[in-house]
Amino acid sequence: MIRIHQNRFASSIAGFLAGLFLVLGIVQTFAADQPAAVATAPAGPLPVQPSGRDPADVQREQAIAEFSARMRAANYPALFESAAREFNVPADVLKGIAFAETRWEQLQWPPGETASPDTGMPRPYGIMSLWDNPYFGHSLVDAARLIGKDPAELKGDAYQNMRGAAALLRQLYEQTPKPADAPGEEIESWRKAIVKYCGIPEPELSEEHALNVYEFMNRGYHDYGMEWPEHPVKLEPMRQEVAQIKAAARARLEAKLKAEEELAATHTVPGLPKLQKPAPADIKPMVAQAPVAPMTTAPGESRQRWLLLGFIVVLLGIGAVYRLRKKPSARQNHQR
Q: Where are the domains of the chain?
A: 2-29+303-335, 74-257
Is 276's pLDDT higher than 90?
no
Mean pLDDT for 277-294 is 44
Amino acid 188: pLDDT: 97
- Runs of H (alpha helix) within the chain: 2-32, 36-39, 55-74, 76-87, 91-102, 139-147, 151-156, 158-175, 191-198, 203-219, 236-266, 299-326, 330-335
Mean pLDDT for 239-262 is 95
Amino acid 207: pLDDT: 97
Q: Measured over all CA atoms, what is the biggest interatomic distance in the chain, rounded to whole angstroms?
A: 131
Is 304's pLDDT higher than 90?
no
Selecting from 1.10.287, 1.10.530, 1.20.120, 3.20.20, what CATH number does the domain 74-257 have? 1.10.530
Residue 179's pLDDT band, with cuts at 50, 70 and 90, is: very high
Weakest-pLDDT range from 53-67, 123-137, 200-214, 306-320: 306-320
Amino acid 282: pLDDT: 45
Is 34's pLDDT higher than 90?
no
| 294 or 110: which leads in pLDDT | 110
Residue 266's pLDDT band, with cuts at 50, 70 and 90, is: confident
Residue 264's pLDDT band, with cuts at 50, 70 and 90, is: confident
| 327 or 135: which leads in pLDDT | 135
pTM value is 0.65
Is 121's pLDDT higher than 60?
yes
Q: Quick check: 152 and 126 in contact, CB under 8 A?
A: no
Is 39's pLDDT higher than 90?
no
Q: Quick check: 123 and 117 in contact, CB under 8 A?
A: no
